[in-house]
A and B are shown apart, each in its own frame.
Chain A
């Protein structure tokens, strides 16, 4: 149980185009989803937190107009990288939290990641 998928697994796009990445919780309802970015040989950096039905909360330094996050349902969140540039090339990882009470309240389940390459 607690499987999170991402689509696509890798994408190559031209500079200036927009790219949408999907994150789905397959067997549970995720009240909260998180988007992380990871550059080579670095740790995961939280970009934003999104709760179903409300606006995402962005971390300091993350441009909300460039990284559009939509969490329209309890099983789907999307990250759109608008007007992508080579410096946006990175590994984007989502996670989902069920929001249950008790022991699983804090547990995040991670997706497999999406490799974005901007030419």
Chain B
């Protein structure tokens, strides 16, 4: 179901370190998953996606891992930079209705 949180979890990392942001999704029938980055006052920005027939996908400095057994998704950011500071949301595509359901979000803070 939909995720709503009044207190988003925060991940603080040192600049240059790797970041791992986790997400639990709700529907085992979801067939497509996306990670978004949202900066304050802006709309979500696509980072990377993965289909349910894959368990790993790599982009530039980012990797998404999908574990369908436990309905878990993670985003790994290599060599985290101050510009990576934002709120990160995972989203799952529900086949029924073909719509996205967003996770609660994680605040990433990068310390210089």
Name A residues whose Cβ lies closer than 8 Å to a Cβ of B: 4, 6, 32, 34, 41-46, 49, 57, 91, 93, 95, 106-113, 115
Contact = CB atoms under 8 A, between A and B. Distances in A.
B90 to A, nearest CB: 10
Interface in B2-50: 2-8, 31-32, 36, 41-46, 49
| Range class of the B interface residue count | 20 to 34
Contacts of A45: 2, 4, 102
B99 interface: yes
Given A42-B105, A43-B5, 19 more contacts: A6-B43, A41-B6, A41-B7, A42-B6, A42-B104, A43-B2, A43-B3, A43-B102, A43-B103, A44-B44, A46-B100, A106-B32, A106-B98, A107-B49, A110-B43, A110-B46, A111-B43, A112-B43, A113-B43
B93 A106 contact: yes
